[in-house]
Structure 1
Amino acid sequence: MRTYKTQMEAAKKGIVTPEMEIVAKKEFMDENKLRELVAIGQVAIPANINHTSLSPEGIGTGLRTKMNVNLGISGDCKDYAVEMEKVKLAIDFGCEAIMDLSNYGKTNTFRKELIEISPAMIGTVPMYDAIGYLEKELLEITAQDFLKVIEAHAKEGVDFQTIHAGINRRTVEAFKRQKRLTNIVSRGGSLLFAWMEMTGNENPFFEYYDDVLEILREYDVTISIGDALRPGSIHDSSDAGQISELIEIGNLTKRAWEKDVQVLVEGPGHMAMNEIAANMAMQKRICHNAPFYVLGPLVTDIAPGYDHITSAIGGAIAAANGADFLCYVTPAEHLRLPDVSDVKEGIVASKIAAHAADIAKGIPHARDIDNKMSDARRRIDWEEMFSYAIDGKKAREYFESKRPEDNKTCTMCGRMCAMKTTNKILAGEKVEMK
């Protein structure tokens, strides 16, 4: 029988939970060191007590950079079978988290099935679901209604919830003064802003934050404090709206920890490369080294159709400078709901960014698979190379689409293969080009 409500409470009491044991083994970290990091909030292990199929993962200081996949049902694309295909793809690629951003109809049918089968952490944004779940117009929703949706998602087994508690009257004032080029691009943030402006009330997630925390604590749900005022263009990055909200989030982080609720902090969306490192340091400082969940950052605004690349560039820089959790972006970003092919491209791009950052950060054993790949390349062992590749299926398809005469080369270099030439010389053999 559990003698604690949350992973953080257990850690503070000196208890190493089963989830901590699993994470410590995955991360090659001492269990007590991990427990200490959970106790002070620098590592979060999102693990709802009702998510029984979960394979726990840690997010934060000293751990591998984790990756999230967004999917879900929308009014224009409501094919549950296609969304479940995306889920299975994410699981097959070993993605650590899946966010169900469904915003159409009774979304709990899809979400319950997702929680039942997924070993990955499941996240949601209750604000997206509020209108459909409550069957009310935005203006008619009350503060208590919003809390009902949070509790419903928590009971179902969601491991972390994005709650935009940092946008309040103070931050809205800073946003309005700024006169942004792209205003508010957060879907949940824009709905809360609209609700606040139409009703004249404070953000209910800010006003009733203690009630939110009590619900989350009951089911050991991690709060992912959403950045409603994240920049939606490189023009708006690091502005007063973004920073004023970050300051509020720093305070909300401490309040959550006081209630033993684990925290993720969401970060900037669009940002020029030269600002990323400073933003990572600032976030960590203001939010007391809480795990940082990065949306992008997209480093240019002119690449629709290729935003998985703009995001991977920014994500790699962000993670190398302290970000702990990357949210993937697909080629369909800014254009339409991604299809299965888009999801795969987004996953691969984000996994490359996360792994490259882990190498740069010196995460234990991060380089091991690269060294294995390099050794296989030296020996020109194609099957072994395919087994180490992030997307071995695609690598095999490329190789086999233009097969060489000699299987110990590829069609790029042919007889002039550097590996083959050097291997022969080092083995004392003669090199012949004809």
Structure 2
Amino acid sequence: MDNANEGSECMSTINTAGNPPNEPITQMDFARAGKITPQMRTVAEHEGRDPGYIRERVARGSIAIPANIRHIERGLTPRGVGEGLSTKVNVNLGISGDKADAAEEWKKVGIAVNRGADAIMDLSNSGKTRAFRQQVIDECPLMVGTVPMYDAIGYMEKPLVELTAEDLLEVLRVHAEDGVDFVTVHAGINRSVVKTFKETGRLMNIVSRGGSLLFGWMEVTGNENPFYEFYDEVLKICHEYDVTISLGDSCRPGCLYDANDAMETAEMIELGKLTKRAWDAGVQVMVEGPGHMAIDEIAANIKLQKRLCHNAPFYVLGPLVTDIGVGYDHITAAIGGAISASAGADFLCYVTPAEHLCLPDAHDVLEGLMATKIAAHAADIAKGVPGARDADNRMAQARRKLDWEEMWKYALDPQTARERYEASPAATKGTCTMCGKMCAVRTVNKVLEGTTIDLDSEH
């Protein structure tokens, strides 16, 4: 514990241009200097933890607080991801080339903010995306993540194969300057990992969008992955603005058959090395994971990742526990998410019913977010996160009393719950139309109160 440092308040909104060379900039810098930032205090309060607990783990990298210094200035509500903290949930959205509807994407932003997401990833991949990204950062208090590789072709106005390492680094810098809190950087898919892929093969090949673009670029140009070759330059940019690197899972399995195969494992080894290099540079790290994976393989995958990547926060997409749940993949992902988070994953990327089918609409986003929030909360109960069961216990007390207004307070989605209840009014006060007068809770309450049980013969 670091109670002696609790009074060491440090502002993280720093003008880096005039900063002395050894002055702390990132949350990791401050933590290693023994200083507790306002962002660490906010995370501690949100999690019910001592600020020293947060500082200690940020210093060693097992907790990340993605908080770009530019976004802090614009009203970011910081959240911690990692060891001993509640499982966080991310919502993906963004403008697609086939369906470029910014108004619809803003509906999704509103759902993410109002229904309790912790982060948004703007995965816009068509045309000039900077204005939308900047507006999200300016107006959204949630952590914001991006994948600069998606933006590179549109931003640079070049075909993929004509992009240079300098182009990719420039796009990364623009995202950092705009205030992005975490960026997915696909640095782990180097020529060595590609060699493993070609030697061992896969049923689904490469399903990561960013990973496939870099694979294609490397194959056509014959060059090494620029994010791997010039990783030190990536770290300098991220350190300057305190952008957390989310090390992309270019080789994540896209089907059960490919889970935990040689290619995924080869990349995971590389990601562990890149994690250490980032920490040495004072840059915070999260590591991304699967994907698709059978239930009985998930816990082992999480443990292996935590071992190889030195207990860095782990960010997973599901994983989906079957390949045939098309149209219901928010459910298949929620099952995998609950298992992975209970086994040690720290951050769940939502999956919607539209996965594998189309760009999700606003209703799909709501369905995916709530399924993932349920998975995250169930996992927090299983792994003993402080206070995780409190709302469940209060919900049980409210149900025992048939106090519907109190129930809405503890529901993960009170708006939907209230709407469903009120759309089907019960004839008997305090009950719902499932059981009516035969409500078990009502019956037992009446017996214990010494009140007559008024069941009609027609029931």
TM range (shorter): over 0.9
1:66-77 map, 5 Å: 66-77=88-99
Aligned match of 1:4: 24
Give the Cα–Cα distance (whole angstroms) in 1 for the partners of residues 125 and 274 of structure 2.
Answer: 26
SS across alignment from 2:445: helix
Shift of 1:386: 2.1
- Cα deviation code 1:358-410 (max 9, x no counterpart): 11111111111111111110000112112221122221222222211112211
Aligned match of 2:56: 36
Identity level (%): 63
Letter matched to residue 167 of structure 2: D
Give the Cα–Cα distance (whole angstroms) in 2 for the partners of residues 386 and 344 of structure 1.
Answer: 17
Aligned match of 2:309: 287
SS across alignment from 1:50: helix
- Cα deviation code 1:336-371 (max 9, x no counterpart): 110001000000000000011011111111111111
- Cα deviation code 1:238-258 (max 9, x no counterpart): 000000000000000000000
SS across alignment from 2:69: coil
SS across alignment from 1:412: coil
Give the Cα–Cα distance (whole angstroms) in 2 for the partners of residues 432 and 81 of structure 1.
Answer: 53
Number of residue-to-residue matches in the alignment: 434
Q: For structure 1, which runs of at least 5 residues remain unmatched after alignment?
A: none
Match of 2:39 among 15, 19, 32: 19
TM, length-normalised to structure 1: 0.99
Match of 1:386 among 367, 388, 408: 408
- Cα deviation code 1:271-316 (max 9, x no counterpart): 0000000111111000000000011100001011100000000000
Q: For structure 2, which runs of at least 5 residues remain unmatched after alignment?
A: 1-10, 15-22
TM, length-normalised to structure 2: 0.93
Aligned match of 2:186: 164
Query: Are 2:454 and 1:432 equivalent residues in the alignment?
Result: yes
1:7-406 map, 5 Å: 7-51=27-71, 52-406=74-428
Letter matched to residue 6 of structure 1: T
SS across alignment from 1:8: helix
SS across alignment from 2:144: strand
Shift of 1:413: 1.4
Give the Cα–Cα distance (whole angstroms) in 1 for the partners of residues 438 and 114 of structure 2.
Answer: 37
Shift of 1:62: 0.4
Shift of 1:428: 2.2
Give the Cα–Cα distance (whole angstroms) in 1 for the partners of residues 429 and 132 of structure 2.
Answer: 47
Give the Cα–Cα distance (whole angstroms) in 1 for the partners of residues 65 and 414 of structure 2.
Answer: 30
1:411-430 map, 5 Å: 411-430=433-452
Shift of 1:60: 0.2
Deviation beyond 4 Å, 4+ runs, structure 1:
none
Letter matched to residue 250 of structure 2: A
